[in-house]
Amino acid sequence: MMAEDAMETACRSGARAAAQRTRILQAAQKCFVEHGFHAASMATIAQTAEMSPGLIYRYFRSKSEIILAIIERQLEIVRERIGSLHVANDLAAGIADSFHAPTDCHDDMIIAPLFLETSAEATRDPQVGAAVAAVDTAVRTEFTRVLMRAREEGGYGLPEELATKRALMLLCLFEGLKVREAREPHLDHGLLESALGDILGLLLAPQSAEPAG
């Protein structure tokens, strides 16, 4: 016979428990998008997940633990996207494709309202702030590295100083794109892709003239 704690573990972390957890997280994400982290109530989340409020507490210690789980999942998606960015051959299209209409909703997306809410929460909650800062630094570093890497190695061969500046602007551009997604969800996709192609052509050119005064 199994030891009690082993059985406990097998059960708690079993397939059912995992399914319940993701069910709760999906419901919570939907509610957070619709109402925000603080305006969404546990009762609403429970209703959305089609279970009783009390049951949620079997799988999560508190509401803020759920919020943190949602945020960390979003940050993980950011990490994944960045990791696969420098592999893509058409950068503009790849970036434009991360701009989503609000209708479609896979679970590997950076949801614009969650991005905004998370960024705001990061300025208040130290735990969220730390998680966001870690990913943020990693992304900025990765951007700079890709811009500096030699062209024959898949980079853009920019000198360090220029790479640092352009990585910063690129980062602002991407984050601004998420803001835009929240504000203009039905923005013309063709225009966006074309505009991105234009600006990336400028920013990632082999070498460009120095800016005027």
Nearer CB in complex with a second copy: 49/67? 67
Q: Is 40 in the site for DNA (CB under 7 A)?
A: yes
CB 38 within 8 Å of CB 49 = no
Q: For residue 66, what are the contacts with CB-CB under 8 A and spacing of at least 6?
A: 24, 25, 28, 45, 56, 60
Q: Of 35-43, 71-79, 80-88, 93-101, which segment contacts DNA by CB under 7 A?
A: 35-43
Q: Which two tokens mark 92?
A: 């503009």
- 85 binds a second copy, rule: CB under 8 A: no
Tell me which of 26, 30, 36, 44 binds DNA, using CB under 7 A.
Answer: 44
Tell me the closest approach of the beta carbon of residue 25 to DNA, in angstroms: 14
- Calculate the CA dihedral of residues 199, 200, 205, 209 and round it to 10 degrees: 30
Supply the minimum distance, in Å, between the C-beta of residue 112 and a second copy: 8
Which residues here bind a second copy, judged by CB under 8 A? 34-36, 38-39, 112-113, 116-117, 119-124, 132-133, 136, 162, 164-166, 168-169, 171-180, 182-184, 191-192, 194-203, 205, 208, 210-212
